Amino acid sequence: MAIRYDEIDSPIGVLTLGWNAEPQGGLCQIEFGAFADVESKLRAWSGQRYGTDDWVRDPGALTEAAEQLQAYFAGTRRTFDLPLDLRGTPFQIQVWKALTDIPFGEVWSYKDVAVWIGSPKAVRAVGGANNRNPVPIIVPCHRVIGASGAMVGYGGGLHIKTFLLQHEGFSGKGALA
């Protein structure tokens, strides 16, 4: 087994996309940066989650994911329709699924997410799951902000989080401008 990958150019820089082609398959990774720059991180991650550190470039396996991401950045797509292969704890997977319920151009607080999943006291755990989201943008962890409305934490950096929210038309008031 090998994780299939490709790179795409985007307004936020190169993104490395990973696809697990095993029986059910699906997009399993989006990393900020070119493969050569993040290779050791990706190999360690997939070794832990998938039992392999073998990554093979295969643009054909990621055509649909690449096209949907390019459409998002072009402003012609607001939601994604891709098979995902998310591996994490049951709680992490629950949080990641909840993040996909946050509408385009809106933000929720970590507390909002915790309440949404029925665990109102699990605010810090929601933050931890958000931090480990393997497919940012598709699972829109950039739409989660601090309770005060502050931009807090993002794997790609706060400048990318800010860009993504502005791209979606977020006005800073909780919904589209």
Integer distance in angstroms from the first to the last C-alpha of the chain?
45
Secondary structure letter of residue 103 according to DSSP: P
Residue 141 is a catalytic residue: yes
Q: What phi and psi values does residue 22 have, to the nearest 5 degrees?
A: -65, 175
Sign of the Cα pseudo-torsion (16, 152, 126, 67, in order): negative
Which of 141, 145, 164, 165 is catalytic? The answer is 141
- Using the structure block, give the residue that is written with the tokens 């082609």: 21
Rounded alpha-carbon distances, angstroms, from residue 59 to 3, 8, 66, 109, 170: 12, 10, 9, 36, 32
Measured CA angle at 93 (ends 90, 95), to 5 deg: 110
Element (H, E) at 109: strand 108-109
Active-site residue list: 141
